[in-house]
């Protein structure tokens, strides 16, 4: 009776198979990551479209005026205007001693920030967080600062439309900045071009050392934006450093875009 031979992989064959699998994985993983980022970007844009619809209803109810937000967001108030947590941005139970990683939802008293002013129209706290960022990430990538959960949203209100900051000259360079909070829509020359709300972080690290820092933007190629006519769309980065705060190796979307549409 003949014995049945059992074949097996040799060590070299196994190593070749493993190497092929590793090569395929190296090719496919970036593709999967890009697809995942694209899906999150689409969901984030959907969030902003719904917020844009809520903003439109708010403007209709308040004599065609924009929400009167007390700052760009609670994290800005905490970082640069800590004393104002007891001033024009004061809210019940929130002080400088409130834990920086506490989640503060849209039902605060009195409403001071965009997510709180629009809460009667949105009624969904999850809409205020881009899935690429979430509640637990720290503002400006700095663990000594509040989280976006403390801020109440990962979206930024355009508290100051400033044409004086961009690296490249523009025809409005000598104009005084405009505060959009409480502004009548009729006073915006080109509402469809005037950004009101957008993704954070809104920085694009364009060269070292910024590329090695915890400064990853919400989306790899740009930010989702709500404009003055309340429509939302994606705005790409230009991949050019703005040479202003916080670092000359960053593109700062606010610096390059906050003023557009507000001047004539």
Contact partners, residue 193, CB within 8 Å, separation at least 6: 227, 228, 260, 261
User: Which comes out higher in pLDDT, residue 247 or 218?
Assistant: 218
* Average of per-residue pLDDT across 234-246: 80
pLDDT in tens, 68-109: 999 999 999 999 887 788 889 999 999 989 999 999 999 999
At 36, the pLDDT band (50, 70, 90 cuts) reads: confident
Residue 209 sits at φ, ψ, to 5 deg, of: -85, 0
135 has a pLDDT exceeding 80: yes
pLDDT at site 202: 93
| End-to-end alpha carbon distance in the chain | 97
Within 10 angstroms of residue 190's Cβ, the number of other Cβ atoms is 14
Task: Identify the H or E element spanning 199.
Answer: strand 195-199
pLDDT at site 19: 82
At 248, the pLDDT band (50, 70, 90 cuts) reads: confident
260 has a pLDDT exceeding 90: yes
pLDDT in tens, 194-238: 999 999 999 999 888 887 667 789 998 999 999 999 999 999 999
pLDDT at site 81: 80
* Average of per-residue pLDDT across 121-131: 95
CB-based contact 154:110 (threshold 8 Å): no
pLDDT at site 3: 54
Domain ranges of the chain: 11-257
């Amino acid at each position: 009776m003949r014995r049945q031979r059992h074949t097996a992989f040799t060590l070299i064959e196994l190593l070749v198979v493993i190497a092929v699998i590793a090569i395929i994985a190296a090719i496919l993983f970036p593709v999967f990551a890009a697809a995942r980022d694209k899906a999150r970007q689409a969901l984030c844009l959907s969030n902003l479209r719904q917020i844009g619809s809520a903003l439109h209803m708010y403007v209709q109810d308040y004599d065609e005026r924009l929400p009167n937000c007390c700052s760009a967001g609670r994290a800005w108030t905490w970082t640069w205007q800590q004393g104002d947590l007891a001033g024009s941005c004061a809210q019940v139970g929130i002080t400088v001693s409130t834990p920086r990683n506490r989640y503060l939802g849209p039902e605060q008293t009195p409403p001071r920030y965009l997510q709180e002013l629009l809460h009667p129209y949105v009624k969904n706290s999850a809409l205020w967080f881009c899935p690429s960022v979430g509640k637990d990430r720290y503002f400006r990538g700095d663990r000594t600062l509040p989280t976006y959960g403390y801020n109440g949203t990962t979206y930024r209100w355009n508290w100051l439309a400033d044409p004086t900051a961009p690296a490249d000259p523009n025809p409005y360079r000598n104009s005084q900045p405009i505060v959009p909070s409480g502004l009548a829509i009729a006073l915006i020359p080109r509402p469809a071009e005037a950004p009101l709300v957008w993704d954070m972080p809104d920085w694009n690290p364009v060269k070292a050392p910024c590329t090695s820092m915890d400064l990853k933007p919400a989306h790899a190629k740009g930010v989702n934006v709500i404009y003055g006519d309340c429509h939302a769309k994606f705005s790409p980065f230009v991949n050019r450093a703005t040479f202003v705060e916080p670092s000359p190796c960053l593109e700062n979307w606010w610096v390059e875009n906050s003023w557009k549409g507000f001047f004539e």
